[in-house]
Amino acid sequence: MFIIERIRRMFDLNADWMAIAATLKADPLLADLAKAKPGLRLPGAWDGFELAVRAILGQQVTVKAATTFAGRMVKTFGPKFSAGSATHLFPTPEILAAADLMQIGLTRARATSIQTLARAVSRGEISFDAVVNSNVLVAQLREISGIGEWTAQYVAMRALGEPDAFPAGDIALLRKLGLRHSQQLEERAEAWRPWRAYAALYLWSMSGGSMSDALGVEADKKKSAGAEAGEVSVEAARHSRARGNNASKDLQFAD
């Protein structure tokens, strides 16, 4: 049952599309999108800890760079494993908590963020399986230096399948709606509750973008360990706009 439920969560198979559509179609901005792409699902993850680590690796860098760092991490610290083309497993929290992550090219700030997360998970202070209220997880993640609201909401969306997770500071969403401040976006998104995560996914899909695109744009400034961890560069934003990963095509299921 455990494996079956994980698979269902990974592909968001428990989503109540009729309820989601009823809310989103009431908004003229989303009505056509919901009609054109019915049954859009949230992209889940098999392992919440791995997803969270990858989210940190993807902050303010291109998707290619984030993938490179993840590959180095697995090859350097992951337990060896032989099955088909797979050679290593993703490192456990216990392994990463004690690892020298700077040797794979991470900045000190990024390495510290990942190690702090790994230690909290290995001590049972943060759990991606036992947390029922996503607000608890978001609050716990935001206590970690280098993890801000965007990353915390992204993890809640994908690791927990939280249908109302919403990155109100997302630059792509602000631009798409012609807004300037996250507070304006939060007010605009009130009408989409409790399905704001799906609204975000539809809005990202409007320009052929995806959540992975947005990872290179968001600046997680709160409790940043330094400018390198808390300031988004023009170059990162340019790379993010240039990428066309269009995850929405992979996430659309017929109802």
* Tens-place pLDDT, residues 91-144: 999 999 999 999 999 999 999 999 999 999 999 999 997 666 899 999 999 999
- For residue 255, the model assigns a pLDDT of 31
C-beta of residue 105 within 8 angstroms of C-beta of residue 69 = yes
Phi and psi for 82 in degrees, rounded to 5? -125, 110
**Residue 3 belongs to some domain of the structure:** no
Of 220, 14, 227, 236, nearest to 117 (Cα)? 220
Beta-carbon-side half-sphere exposure of residue 34 (alpha carbons within 13 Å): 20
| Cis bond before residue 194 (omega within 30° of 0) | yes
C-alpha 51/C-alpha 45 separation (Å) is 6
- Specify the DSSP class assigned to residue 80: E
- Apex CA 4: angle with CA 57 and CA 47, to 5°? 15
| Structural domain boundaries, residue 230 | 9-251
Q: Which residues contact 232 (CB under 8 A, 6 or more apart)?
A: 60, 217, 218, 219
C-beta of residue 58 within 8 angstroms of C-beta of residue 216 = yes
The one-digit pLDDT tens for each residue of the chain (255 residues) are 588 988 999 999 999 999 999 999 999 999 999 999 999 999 999 999 999 999 999 998 999 999 999 999 999 999 999 888 889 999 999 999 999 999 999 999 999 999 999 999 999 999 997 666 899 999 999 999 999 999 999 999 999 999 999 999 999 999 999 999 999 999 999 999 999 999 999 999 886 554 445 444 443 433 333 333 332 322 233 333 333 333 333 333 223
**Residue 4 belongs to some domain of the structure:** no
**Residue 49 belongs to some domain of the structure:** yes
**Backbone φ/ψ region at 39: left (φ over 0), alpha (ψ -120 to 50), beta:** left
Q: Give the CATH number of the domain where residue 21 resides.
A: 1.10.340.30
- What is the separation of C-alpha 237 from the centre of its chain, rounded to a whole number of angstroms? 17
Of 50, 48, 52, 43, nearest to 12 (Cα)? 43
Q: Which residues contact 228 (CB under 8 A, 6 or more apart)?
A: 107, 109, 110
- For residue 2, the model assigns a pLDDT of 80
**Residue 135 belongs to some domain of the structure:** yes
**Residue 181 belongs to some domain of the structure:** yes
**Residue 1 belongs to some domain of the structure:** no
**Residue 128 belongs to some domain of the structure:** yes
> How many domains are contained in the chain?
1
